């Protein structure tokens, strides 16, 4: 593909006091891309002065005009920041990268290939890979649901129909033609689940779903690590966002969305016991929570399970997370059977990529560095 005439990709990175070594690795994963026609829009959402200076000095050291920085004087939140990034984007295609996550080096090429297969397509959905990174432990996981579809062509061909019926979720990593944002926008109500809300917005619209395709090759690496302050690990914010999602989308009364919410409430404790957990976070009163459980769970098993989940959440939020950085989502990844080890498969795919593709010196340098960080 002629890079000069290929679509330009705009990558939007919100920046709010991230672990700086993870941020530099996120940036390097863009520098590793085999596709070179891109820009990176970094939006500093009111970070501390010292982190603002680190950001400016690092980007200046790269000496690459494809990077730009916009500073906000105060913290507006992830949704506002991403909307501003979309407004500033000059590319045909818009991607989002968290400041502590990674792109695999073939991601941009796969995004462009996926869009080029259907000129009317506005949205391409990919599955995440999940990198568990704790001390010297490194493991890559993939969700069992999507692995089944990736491995069997006949199942993969059914996926759009299953998504439209609400039987299967749209894969979580969404890429966009910029004009999709004439219809979509991030909702400032959400502080840690803005991406879930955007996914739900797409699921509400037959027009958008008809212009959405699912790509079988993962390229986004969501990183799990011990953290006391990562936004997506903040249980209080997460539970508040889940409550707002439930209220917002139950009002719309769209069958496929109601089916999705019911599935989430059946399979995830933070959804099933959301009202109880928010009662605790709002009041701090165990007595009120105990009364709530007695009144709203009609079986003895339900009452006991709700209180166990409450005490487990309190233990994690009040004790384990401040001391160790462990979060409920991290425990879910480790113990839930729906996440499968993808390490061996991805490592071989990566080695094949490095062996078979022609990369410029700079891209190969960063691709090799990325390989060592993942494996």
State the Cα–Cα distance between residues 193 and 247, nearest whole angstrom. 14
pLDDT confidence of residue 3: 56
Category of 24 on φ-ψ map: left (φ > 0), alpha (ψ -120 to 50) or beta: alpha
Of 154-163, 269-278, 303-312, 342-351, the range with the lowest mean pLDDT is 154-163
pLDDT confidence of residue 137: 82
pLDDT tens, residue by residue, 157-206: 888 889 999 999 999 999 999 999 999 999 999 998 999 999 999 999 99
| pLDDT of 91 over the 90 cut | yes
Percent of the chain with pLDDT over 90: 79
pLDDT confidence of residue 156: 82
- Which residue spans within the chain are E strands per DSSP? 9-15, 38-45, 67-72, 93-96, 102-103, 123-126, 128-134, 137-143, 173-177, 212-214, 220-224, 339-341
Q: Please, which pLDDT band fits residue 55 given cuts at 50, 70 and 90?
A: very high
Average pLDDT, the chain: 93
- For residue 220, the cross-strand partners are 103, 128
Please name the residue that has the structure tokens 């970094």: 42
pLDDT tens, residue by residue, 238-278: 999 999 999 999 999 999 999 999 999 998 999 999 999 99
pLDDT confidence of residue 2: 53
pLDDT confidence of residue 287: 97
Strand order from edge to edge, sheet including 93-96: 67-72, 38-45, 9-15, 93-96, 173-177, 123-126, 212-214
């Amino acid at each position: 593909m002629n890079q000069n005439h290929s679509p330009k990709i705009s990558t939007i990175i919100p920046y709010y006091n991230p672990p700086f070594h993870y941020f530099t690795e996120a940036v390097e994963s863009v520098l590793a891309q085999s596709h070179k026609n891109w820009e990176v829009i970094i939006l500093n959402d009111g970070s501390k002065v010292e982190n603002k200076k680190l950001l400016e000095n690092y980007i200046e050291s790269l000496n690459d005009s494809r990077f730009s920085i916009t500073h906000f004087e105060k913290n507006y939140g992830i949704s506002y920041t991403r909307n501003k990034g979309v407004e500033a984007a000059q590319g045909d295609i818009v991607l989002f990268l968290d400041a502590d996550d990674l792109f695999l080096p073939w991601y941009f090429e796969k995004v462009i290939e996926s869009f080029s297969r259907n000129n009317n397509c506005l949205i391409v959905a990919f599955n995440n890979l999940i990198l568990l990174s704790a001390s010297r432990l490194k493991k890559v996981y993939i969700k069992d649901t999507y692995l089944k579809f990736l491995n069997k062509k006949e199942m993969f061909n059914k996926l759009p129909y299953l998504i439209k019926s609400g039987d299967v979720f749209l894969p979580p990593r969404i890429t966009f033609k910029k004009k999709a944002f004439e219809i979509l926008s991030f909702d400032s109500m959400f502080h840690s689940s803005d991406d879930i809300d955007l996914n739900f917005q797409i699921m509400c619209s037959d027009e958008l779903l008809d212009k959405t395709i699912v790509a079988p090759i993962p390229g986004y690496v969501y990183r799990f690590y011990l953290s006391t302050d990562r936004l997506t690990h903040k249980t209080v914010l997460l539970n508040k966002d889940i409550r707002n999602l439930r209220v917002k989308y139950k009002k719309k009364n769209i069958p496929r969305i109601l089916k999705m919410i019911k599935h989430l409430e059946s399979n995830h404790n933070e959804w099933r016991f959301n009202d109880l957990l928010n009662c605790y976070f709002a009041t701090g009163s165990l007595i009120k929570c105990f009364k709530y459980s007695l009144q709203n769970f009609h079986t003895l098993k339900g009452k006991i399970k709700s209180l166990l989940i409450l005490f487990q959440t309190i233990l994690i939020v009040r004790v384990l997370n401040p001391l160790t950085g462990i979060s409920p989502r991290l425990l879910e990844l480790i113990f839930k059977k729906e996440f499968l080890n993808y390490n061996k498969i991805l490592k071989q795919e990566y080695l094949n990529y490095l062996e078979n593709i022609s990369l410029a010196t700079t891209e190969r340098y960063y691709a090799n560095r990325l390989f060592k960080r993942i494996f």
